[in-house]
Amino acid sequence: MATAKPPTARSREQPKFDLTKISARVDRVNVSGLLRTHNDYVMKAAQGLFKARNFEEVMLESMHAKSYLHELGIFKDVSVHIDVSRGDTASPDGYEVTFKGKELPRILGSVGTEIGQNEGSLRTELTVPNLLGRGESISLQGSYSSKRANDVQLKFWKSYFHTRFMKNRPELSFSIFRRLDRVDISHFQNTNMGLLTELAVNTDYPLPLSHSVQYETSIRELSLLGRTVPMAIRQQCGPKLASLVRYSMIFDQRDNPVFPTNGIMLKAINEYCGLGGNIAYVSSCVHGEVSVPLFSGIVAQVCGRVGVVKETKKTDYLPLSNLYLCGGPLTLRGFKYGGAGPVVDGTPIGAETYWSTGFHLWAPLPYHQVFKSFANNFRTHVFYNAGNFNTFSVDHMRTSVGIGLAFKLAERARIELNYCIPLRTCPSDKLNNGFQFGIGYEFV
> Exposure string (b/e) for 268-306, b if CB count within 10 Å is 16 or more?
ebebbbbeebebbbebbbbbbbbbeeeeeeebebebbbb
pLDDT averaged over every residue in the chain? 88
Residue range(s) in the chain whose domain bears CATH number 3.10.20.310: 25-103
- Does the pLDDT value for residue 89 go beyond 90? no
Of the candidates 116, 114, 123, 120, which has an alpha carbon nearest to the alpha carbon of residue 143? 123
Least trusted range by pLDDT, from 106-120, 213-227, 383-397, 419-433: 106-120
- Does the pLDDT value for residue 261 go beyond 90? yes
- Does the pLDDT value for residue 134 go beyond 60? yes
Which residue type, as a one-letter code, is found at position 433?
Answer: N
Across 270-287, average pLDDT? 93
Assess contact for 268 and 278: CB atoms under 8 A. Answer: no
Return the pLDDT at 167.
83
Fold for domain 108-440? Answer: Porin (2.40.160)
pLDDT more than 70, % of the chain: 96
Across 134-151, average pLDDT? 86
Per-residue model confidence as pLDDT tens digits over 178-215: 999 988 888 899 999 999 999 999 998 888 999 999 99
Return the pLDDT at 1.
43
Assess contact for 381 and 361: CB atoms under 8 A. Answer: yes
Return the pLDDT at 20.
78
The number of beta carbons lying within 10 Å of the beta carbon of residue 47 is: 14
Global pTM value? 0.87
Return the pLDDT at 12.
55
Return the pLDDT at 2.
45
Return the pLDDT at 157.
93
| 121 vs 435, residue with greater confidence | 435
Distance CA 332, CA 305 (A): 11
pLDDT more than 90, % of the chain: 43
Per-residue model confidence as pLDDT tens digits over 106-130: 999 988 877 777 777 888 999 999 8
Return the pLDDT at 435.
94
Return the pLDDT at 14.
59
Distance CA 156, CA 94 (A): 42
Least trusted range by pLDDT, from 14-18, 41-45, 136-140, 289-293: 14-18
**CATH architecture entry for 25-103:** Roll (3.10)
- Does the pLDDT value for residue 101 go beyond 90? no
Of the candidates 356, 382, 365, which has an alpha carbon nearest to the alpha carbon of residue 301? 382
Residue range(s) in the chain whose domain bears CATH number 2.40.160.50: 108-440
| 10 vs 219, residue with greater confidence | 219
